[in-house]
Chains A and B, each alone.
Chain A
Amino acid sequence: MDLDLLIGIFPQVLLDGITLGFMYALIALGYTMVYGVLEFINFAHSEIFILGSFVGVEVLLGLQARGAMETWSPFLLVLVALLVGMLASGLLAAGVERVAYRPLRHAPRLIPLISAIGVSFFLQDAIRLFESLWRNSFNLVYPSMDAMNERFELTPTIDISVKSLVVIGASLLMLWGLYTLVNRTKIGKAIRAVAEDQAAASLMGINVNRMISLTFLIGGAMGGGAGVLFGVQYSLINPYTGFIPGLKAFTAAVLGGIGNIPGAMLGGLVLGILEAFAASYLSLLTGGAFGAEYKDILAFSILILILIFRPKGLLGEVVRERA
């Protein structure tokens, strides 16, 4: 076992894990906000995430076709893709709620859950159908931007790429924005009121349906933003790519304490870092007996342990407020 190597790559793995963790955190917000308000798991959220990614790549490819790649700053390009992707995903999430969940709001718990799974499959294949007709291929690649791939060398073995910084920076900004919106504005107060007691909130003159739509819009927009950042970071996407990150983000939301916004952020980061370390270190520590493919075993074993001792998640009991 190579101790120098283990220590040498530690900061790099940590950076990889943080980048991945922020991505999970952004997706996890969509699950946790909806759960906070409706106590319902929106299993279509992974497709809302990947739709953002597809809209982002379409925006970038469209701009590329008009020659914007050469003239625009890459940061502006990513910003435009990010905003359009967020808007599209947010609207889709609100639309899905209107069509598939609202009519079932008073049905037994399992019914909207099944509806969500149905929406999830529907969206996967709808995206596939559309892209197949439109581009004749549903595996799309984010155009590479050289400025995004530049790297800052911290030491000879450790460096961080501009796009990882963009991912981390954009995630922090979005998380901060959301936190402010929920905790410091009147709209946020109304959303929290609906989360606490729908009937009482409506008696206080809050339009419950509108607040629920807004929750889906915001959660969806966060997911869509994560989708664009995912594409910028890892480049290849297809309509089924969303499933695994979606599942991991759901796990992160539960880990942090579902319904709890800071919890989702923390859960995402913890899971991302655990996964990165498991994948990079397992084969080094076991001398190749367990490879990187066993990363999920380690990450999820730790997760199970945490949930045994803290069934409400990391922040589930400390902070009582729900989004």
Chain B
Amino acid sequence: MRTFRFRHALSALAVVVTVAALALPVAQPVDAQSKGTIKIASQSPLSGGQAALGEGIKLGAQLAVEKLKGNLEKMGYKVEFVPFDDQAKPDVGTANAKNIISDKDIMAVIGHLNSGVAIPSSEVYKEVGVVMISPANTNPVVTDRGYPNINRVCGRDDVQGVVGSEFAHGTMKVKSAAIVHDKTQYGQSIAEFFKADAEKKGIKVVAFEGTEEKSNFDAILTPIKAKNPDVIYFGGIYDQAAPFFKQAREKGIKAKFMGPDGMDSSDLTKIAGKAVVGMNYTSAAGPASALPKAKAFVDEYKKKFSKNPEPYAAEAYDAATIAIKAIEEAAKKGKVTREDVATAVRHTKLSGITGDIAFDAKGDRLKAQYFVLTVVSDDPAKWGDNKIIKQLTIAPPAAKK
């Protein structure tokens, strides 16, 4: 009996010590001048096939944080940038999101690249109301859920898909189309928007296929070749679309190629080479060269990271700028809380490098920009020179009540 009690006391003591040890760093008083740390997180794929775009988002946000943290530091806060790698996988994104919400210093998240990752992860952010500002998630669902803490500075797929089909019908004058998608929330939904509007305009959709295949597209291409459509539209991301288009040309398919903003990476030409020269793609993020105010950003980015900014890097920069402004706003009221930051973001108006940004009641960008571009060269280094054929500013569709 005695030993038992002794053990009991010992384990109780151990628990107390552990709890104290865990609690200590949080409870530790910060030095006199500092009011604490504020962290801004980014979530995007930093490894895997889509890392090129994901890294652009991280670096764009990082640049903004480093450049603009001065004000907050003067107010007495320590500002940190914490990048997370979501690997373009929903499970990894949500696991990261749980880490993010449990770190009370994180006041804003810049991310994601993939709508399929952003949607489940934002359910986690919503639990505690930490604000997410997306530079790249175009799926309508992202904002249509009406969460007060979810915003985006890019356009929407229900508009982008229509921009694509309008271009196919009006400018390219195609009569028939084959549509392939990657079965993700992003790729499939934009392919469906494209399909619905194309059919409305009288374009014959000869094939509509989803595939998770990454290397061997023979089986999908053979029937498409036999049906000989004028255009093939790939709703998905470049890492899958590039080998698809490459094999399509190698198989002797003469159709024109089209895709949404998932095509927008220099890796598309790195993999597919001349197969994709002349291909058209729509985008909710213009190349930085097309944005008159982004020149200083491009120069700085190149100087700092010695590479060209990928698409969405400029959007990530603006998103992080909004986050910092909103945190400053919240800090003026006293203690910075996640709720205050989220409210402040929704009301922030910014004349950013991608144009004027303000949010509507759902968190969509008022006056988002859409582009149609053409691939001009098979040299990946010249991706930034891709020609803009059309540039549109369209307001998001009104919220369904």
Identify the A interface with B (CB < 8 A). Answer: 5, 8-9, 12-13, 16, 19-20, 139, 141, 144, 149, 151, 157, 159, 161, 230, 233-238, 241, 275-276, 278-280, 283-284, 288, 291-293, 295
Total A-B residue contacts, Cβ distance less than 8 Å: 86
For A157, what are the chain B residues with a Cβ–Cβ distance below 8 Å? 225-226
Known A292-B219, A292-B220; contact A9-B226, beta-carbon cutoff 8 A: yes
Point out the residue from A5, A144, A149, A276 that lies within 8 Å of B219, measured CB to CB.
A276
Q: How far is the CB of B292 from chain A (nearest CB, A)?
A: 32
Tell me whether A151 and B222 are in contact in the complex, defined as CB-CB below 8 angstroms, given that A236-B214, A241-B215, A293-B212 are known contacts.
no
Binding site for A on B (CB under 8 A): 49, 183, 207-212, 214-216, 218-220, 222-223, 225-227, 239, 242-243, 246-247, 250-252, 270-271, 273
By DSSP majority rule, is chain A's interface helix, strand, loop, or mixed? helix
User: A residues within 8 A CB of B273?
Assistant: 144
A13, A16, A293: which contacts B211 (Cβ < 8 A)? A293
Q: Give chain A residues whose Cβ lies under 8 Å from the Cβ of B250.
A: 144, 149, 161
Residues in A whose Cβ lies below 8 Å from that of B219: 13, 16, 275-276, 278-280, 292, 295
Residue pair B49, A234 in contact (C-beta under 8 Å): no
Indicate the member of B49, B212, B218, B220 with the most A CB atoms within 10 Å: B218
Chain B residue at minimum C-beta to C-beta distance from A230: B215
Contact partners of B226 in chain A: CB under 8 A: 5, 8-9, 12, 157
Q: Which of A9, A230, A234 makes the CB contact (< 8 A) with B223?
A: A9
Given A12-B222, A280-B223, check contact A292 B216 (CB 8 Å). no
A291 touching B239, Cβ below 8 Å:
no
Contact between B209 and A236 (Cβ–Cβ < 8 Å)?
no
Query: Is B215 a contact of A234 with CB atoms below 8 Å?
Result: yes
14 cross-chain CB contacts under 8 A: A5-B226, A9-B222, A12-B222, A13-B219, A141-B270, A151-B251, A234-B216, A234-B247, A235-B243, A236-B215, A236-B271, A276-B219, A279-B219, A283-B207
Q: Which residues of B contact A20 (CB under 8 A)?
A: 216, 218
Verify B223–A141 contact, CB threshold 8 A.
Answer: no
Report whether A236 and B222 are in contact in the complex, using a CB–CB cutoff of 8 Å: no
Q: How far is the CA of A139 from the CA of B209 in the complex (A)?
A: 25
CA distance A24 to B178 in the complex (A): 29
Once bound together, how far apart are the Cα atoms of A26 and B222, in whole Å?
24
User: Which of B216, B223, B239, B247 is the one whose CB lies under 8 Å from A284?
Assistant: B223
